[in-house]
A and B are shown apart, each in its own frame.
Chain A
């Protein structure tokens, strides 16, 4: 029952161009010595064990022939686009992922509904609608990032993912990009919803339709939301545990706030340390952020996004996957 090998075939190393002409263009001859010596740790005296067995007698899959089995690997590396595609798909093919997106959009709609209600007399302005919706998203989009980075460790599917692509930082790059793309999509949907809400509100109240908004506000919203998504990814990678990462994500900024209110030294430099403070100018209507304000936002992003991200990636790259 152990297979078709006849001893004669197995001991004849010159079976290489046998029967069928379907052999791969590659010639497996070159690898014999290495393979034979490599077999020394193997089951002692496996009957006629070496390379001859598989290629000699089978008309099966010709790609799996002989010692070519060892060195001849067809096909290139895993294309990044495929990796990104699967990571995007993974964020929305579970109920948790889908519901998170649904909740984000629903809360956005709810926030806009409230604004429309309060502005029912004169019509809600487009900028108010848009900026109000940004708030709940700033809370929920990071959760998307956290789930993307950490849920595979909770669900143990990391075992599968990192055997599919053992270059772990490549996987993390795909995950980050997937989360950022979803974040962008959410921002786009939000803008669309804000436009619709404003049109509806203006129509109902008989107000004026005004969709003008300074360009820097759009830029600010995009940068801000993407930074939050990436911060979620960073915290997810740092803790590799969804509940822990979410807790840390919400508790640490509050702690930061408390510290910055109580410690004078921190308070004076809050714009350089506390991201919530540094983020304010990004969505201010009156004026675009100054160079210093951008620098402040950049600096807080280093502490709150890039540093945890670097630590998280280092952790992912080294951690034993069980």
Chain B
């Protein structure tokens, strides 16, 4: 459980994080999504006691991070996968983390296996690692103490699509066992795959939050049918808000089930129906475009 309340960080007149509040719950993967420079990393550093907050609180497992006894036994943290001494081997990095949490050598081996690093890779210096391997190592260092909470900054960065799916599996299993996961990303596609709940942040402020399903359905569905004219007529008749899309499909502000029922009533053959990935993407862009840097377009 991570509870963030009115967390704020100001540097002089610049407000990096502006009064954010949200809760990351046990059993859920919470995605912290926003463009670069939105304040995600600053917020995560405040959660872990590395950056003092200007105001507000961040409680992890009911306490401020600095008040946790031996924090990495309870909270696995990876704020920057590249923040490792290039001269240490992967195994050495994990061993150091394991000593601090009181885990044995066996735990190091088990963790290496869990994050998919072979023993040969583990003997190599981190300086020779790809970013994806560093992410796996960083995740391993976070997991080695068998914590209940994971705080991961851009963990999917540098992973290939296969790696992202692997991470989804790992984090989903972890959450299913009761763990709390908070992960940040500036890429909607990553978070959409991995997260259950979403918190969208732009220019230091939270612009939207909710479950992924809610956010997806809020963004509406995209539907297509063999008889497009009939589909459009049916939707119009139902009074649902809708917009034709350039490709001939129809965007409807409704749940998939509603549109499905509508099609059933009108005897329409649907060729596609879903809260298309584009839905949330559009939402992400809309929500953050005002707040994002101008170059981000």
Closest residue of chain A to B125, judged by CB? A95
Instruction: Say yes or no: is A294 at the interface (Cβ < 8 Å to chain B).
Output: no
> Which of A1-21 touch B at CB < 8 Å?
1-5
| B100 interface neighbour in A63, A66, A94, A165, Cβ under 8 Å | A165
Chain B contacts for A58, CB-based, 8 A: 27, 176-178
A26 in contact (CB, < 8 A): no
Which residues of A37-89 have CB atoms within 8 Å of chain B's CB atoms?
A: 38-39, 41-47, 49-51, 53-55, 58, 60-61, 63-66, 69-71, 73, 75-78, 82-83, 85-86, 89
Report the interface size for chain A: residues with CB under 8 A from the other chain.
62
In the complex, which residues 16-43 of chain B have their Cβ closer than 8 Å to any Cβ of chain A? 21-23, 25-28, 30
Task: Collect the chain B residues with CB atoms within 8 Å of residue A75's CB.
Answer: 69-70, 73, 102
| Contacts of B60-117 to chain A: CB distance below 8 A | 61-63, 65-66, 68-74, 77, 79-80, 82-88, 92, 96-97, 99-100, 102
- 8 Å CB contacts to B: which residues of A147-164? 151, 155-157, 159-160, 162-164
Do residues A85 and B83 form an inter-chain contact, with CB atoms below 8 A? no
Query: B148: CB under 8 A from chain A?
Result: yes
Chain A residues in 8 Å Cβ range of B65: 163, 166
Q: Confirm or deny: A102 has a beta carbon within 8 angstroms of a beta carbon on chain B.
A: no
**Nearest CB of A to B75, in Å:** 8
Residue contact A41 to B72, C-beta cutoff 8 Å: no
**Does A32 touch B at the CB level, under 8 Å?**
no
Also in contact, A93 and B88, with CB within 8 A (given A54-B178, A73-B61)? yes
Contact residues in A for B85 (Cβ distance below 8 Å): 94, 151, 155, 157
Contact of B71 among A4, A76, A163 (CB under 8 A): A163
Quick check: B49 and A82 within 8 Å, CB to CB? Answer: no
Known contacts A35-B1, A42-B23, A54-B27; A321/B211 CB under 8 A: no
| A137 and B52 alpha carbons, distance in the complex (Å) | 40
Minimum C-beta distance from B117 to chain A (A): 17
CB-based contact A82/B50 at 8 Å: no
A63 partner residues in chain B, CB cutoff 8 A: 148
Other A-B pairs, 18, CB within 8 Å; known A51-B26, A76-B70, A159-B79: A1-B172, A50-B25, A55-B178, A60-B176, A65-B178, A69-B61, A70-B1, A73-B63, A73-B68, A75-B70, A76-B69, A89-B99, A159-B83, A160-B84, A163-B49, A163-B71, A165-B100, A320-B52
Contacting residues, chain A, for B210 (C-beta < 8 A): 43-46
**How many chain-B residues does the 8 Å CB contact rule pick out?**
66
A70 to B1, CA, bound (A): 6
Q: Tell me the complex Cα distance, A51–B180, Å.
A: 12
Can you list 14 residue pairs at the A/B interface with Cβ under 8 Å? A41-B23, A43-B211, A46-B25, A53-B27, A58-B177, A64-B26, A73-B69, A86-B99, A94-B87, A155-B83, A156-B82, A160-B141, A164-B97, A166-B71
Task: Name A residues whose Cβ lies closer than 8 Å to a Cβ of B.
Answer: 1-5, 31, 35, 38-39, 41-47, 49-51, 53-55, 58, 60-61, 63-66, 69-71, 73, 75-78, 82-83, 85-86, 89-90, 93-96, 151, 155-157, 159-160, 162-167, 320-322
Judge if B196 is at the interface, Cβ distance under 8 Å: yes
Q: A3–B51 contact, CB under 8 A?
A: no
Question: Which chain A residue has the least Cβ–Cβ distance from B168?
Answer: A1
Q: How far is the CB of A316 from chain B (nearest CB, A)?
A: 12
List CB contacts (< 8 Å) of B203-243 with chain A. Answer: 209-214
Q: Are A321 and B178 touching (Cβ within 8 A)?
A: no
Which single residue of chain A is at the shortest CB-CB distance from B100? Answer: A164
Q: Is B175 an interface residue (CB 8 A)?
A: yes
Q: Is B291 an interface residue (CB 8 A)?
A: no
Q: Which has the most chain B C-beta neighbours within 10 Å: A70, A71, A167?
A: A70
CA distance A281 to B45 in the complex (A): 49
Shortest CB-to-CB span from A67 to chain B, Å, is: 8
* B96-A90 in contact (CB<8A): yes
Contacts of B175 in A (CB 8 A): 3
Closest to A93 in B: B92
Establish whether residues B148 and A64, one from each chain, have CB atoms under 8 Å apart when the complex forms.
yes
A47 engages B1 (CB within 8 Å) = no
Which residue of chain B has its CB nearest to the CB of A155?
B85
Residue of A38, A49, A83, A157 near B84 (CB, 8 A) is A157
The complex places the Cα of A90 from the Cα of B175 at a distance, in Å, of 33
State whether A43 touches B71 (Cβ < 8 A).
no
Q: Chain A's nearest CB lies how many Å from the CB of B220?
A: 18
Give chain B residues whose Cβ lies under 8 Å from the Cβ of A155.
83-86
Interchain CB contact under 8 A, A45 and B214: yes
Cα of A320 to Cα of B27 in the assembled complex, Å? 31
Known: A69-B1, A94-B87. A2 touches B178 (CB 8 A): no
Q: Are A43 and B197 in contact (CB under 8 A)?
A: yes
Query: In the complex, A82→B101 CA distance in Å?
Result: 9
Any chain A CB within 8 A of the CB of B171? no
Interface centre among B3, B25, B79 (most CB of A within 10 A): B25
Q: Which residues of A contact B1 (CB under 8 A)?
A: 35, 69-70
Q: A38 — which chain B residues lie within 8 A by C-beta? A: 3, 23, 59
